[in-house]
Structures are given as C-alpha cells and as structure tokens.
Amino acid sequence: MNAPDQKSKNIGIIAYLTIIGWVIALVMNNEKQSEYASFHIRQMLGIMLTGLAINAITWIQFDYAYFHFADRILQALVFVIWLFGFIPAVQGEKKPIPFLGDYFQDWFKSIG
C-alpha cells in the first residue's frame, strides 16, 4: 500500500480529535477527496455513534447501580476502540478497527 500524503494523514489524525476535529476533517477532505482521510472519517463516525449509543442505553438505566459500573466498562471499551483507530491513523495505515470497522466503512460509504 502506498503511504498517504502528509495532508491526508493530517486529516485522518484530526478526524479522531473530538467531534469538532471530525467536522474539521470532513470539511478539509471535501476540498480534495482522499480515500485515506475518508476511511478514517468513517471509522471515527462509527466510533462516535457507538459511544453515543452506549451513553443513551446506560443513561436510560441510570436507576440501577450496576449500570453505572457497566457504563464505566463500556466507556473504557470505546476508548480502546478509539485507540485502535487513532494509532493506525498516526502511523499512516488504513486498518479497520476490530469487529466493527468493516461495517462502518460499508454503512458510511457515502461520507467522506
């Protein structure tokens, strides 16, 4: 695989820096489409939506003490998933996150 150019790599990294970074990366990638940057934009969108879904589910169940513990575990899992996306972006690789990455690429193929 060819290494991405520096601008594409920077956009890929920016996509992982909060939702604001994701929006900035999306706008920057619209100027000149890069498959590398689009890949990481889609990965981060999936990670953000996964985190949002976990927050929504655990927030609904806030009355039960064990859900607070489960929420912490699940949020730690989202952070680990984020690392599985961020580290390859820094290294200039297009590596989907385990289990869900390929689905994210398929579901969000029109984004980026």
Pairwise CA distance, residues 34 & 48, whole Å: 21
Specify the residue for token string 């009355």: 63
Q: Which residues of the chain have pLDDT under 50?
A: none
Q: Which two tokens stand for residue 69?
A: 């513990």
User: Under DSSP, is residue 81 helix (H, G, I), strand (E, B) or coil?
Assistant: helix
- What do you get for the CA distance between the two ends of the chain, in Å? 20
Q: Tens of pLDDT along 62-89?
A: 666 666 777 788 889 999 999 999 999 9
pTM of the model: 0.89
